[in-house]
């Protein structure tokens, strides 16, 4: 069994993690979207589903068995204790799912794991390298308000406040990619791909 390098891509909300990962995907690199997988696991992972109901009540799921996202969002919004509680249930499930995914894609030189809370959840420790996508807070805020008009400024700022600051993430990252209006991310990602494909260190 091969052991591909595991590369994390993270960054605050609105930083452009998905854009960076789309470039990797276009280059033929498998990308594991932890946030999307977490949403899927809420209704496909029976162990997780049972624990969510146990922690937050039967209202956590609709009659069709799908997660009641509005209810769960209302439970954890502005409640740090409940946020930590749901994360403590979801993150291990994502970890198991990611391990299975890696086993299924081990014929590549390296694999990408995209996750907003890579550092906060501690899952970066199981990866070989972490790329942090950096953008000033005000620019990220404006991007999200344009991208997600259903979200209020207060809601976006609340999400930002729950995520670690840029300085803390930069210290832990192996590489910082700037995705602001002054820098293009295309060439840095292509250069990184070339390095990793050749088995070079970041």
Rounded to the nearest 10 degrees, the angle between the axes of helix 80-104 and helix 46-56 is 180
Residue 159 buriedness (CB in 10 A; 0-12 / 13-18 / 19+): middle
131: left (phi over 0), alpha (psi -120 to 50) or beta: beta
83 is in an annotated binding site: no
Say if CB 5 and CB 112 are below 8 A apart: no
78 is in an annotated binding site: no
18 is in an annotated binding site: yes
60 is in an annotated binding site: no
Q: What is the DSSP string of 144-189?
A: HHHH-TTS-HHHHHHHHHHSPPHHHHHHH-SEEEE-STT--SHHHH
Cα–Cα distance measured from residue 141 to residue 147, given in angstroms and rounded to the nearest whole number: 10
14 is in an annotated binding site: yes
11 is in an annotated binding site: no
Q: Which residues are documented as binding site? A: 14-19
Q: Which residues are documented as binding site for ATP? A: 14-19
């Amino acid at each position: 069994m091969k052991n591909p390098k595991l590369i994390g891509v993270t960054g605050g909300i609105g930083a452009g993690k998905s854009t960076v990962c789309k470039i990797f995907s276009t280059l033929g690199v498998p990308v594991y979207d932890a946030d999307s997988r977490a949403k899927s696991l809420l209704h496909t992972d029976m162990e997780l589903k049972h624990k969510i109901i146990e922690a937050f009540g039967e209202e956590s799921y609709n009659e069709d068995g799908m997660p009641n996202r509005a209810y769960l969002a209302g439970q954890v919004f502005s409640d740090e204790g409940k946020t930590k509680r749901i994360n403590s249930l979801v993150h291990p499930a994502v970890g198991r799912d990611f391990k299975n995914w890696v086993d299924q894609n081990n014929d590549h030189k390296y694999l990408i794991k995209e996750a907003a809370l890579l550092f906060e959840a501690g899952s970066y420790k199981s990866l070989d390298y972490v790329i942090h996508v950096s953008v000033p807070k005000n620019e990220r805020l404006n991007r999200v308000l344009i991208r997600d008009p259903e979200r209020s400024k207060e809601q976006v700022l609340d999400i930002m406040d729950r995520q670690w600051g840029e300085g803390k993430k930069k210290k832990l990252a192996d590489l910082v990619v700037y995705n602001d209006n002054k820098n293009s991310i295309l060439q840095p990602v292509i250069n990184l791909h070339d390095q990793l494909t050749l088995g070079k260190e970041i």
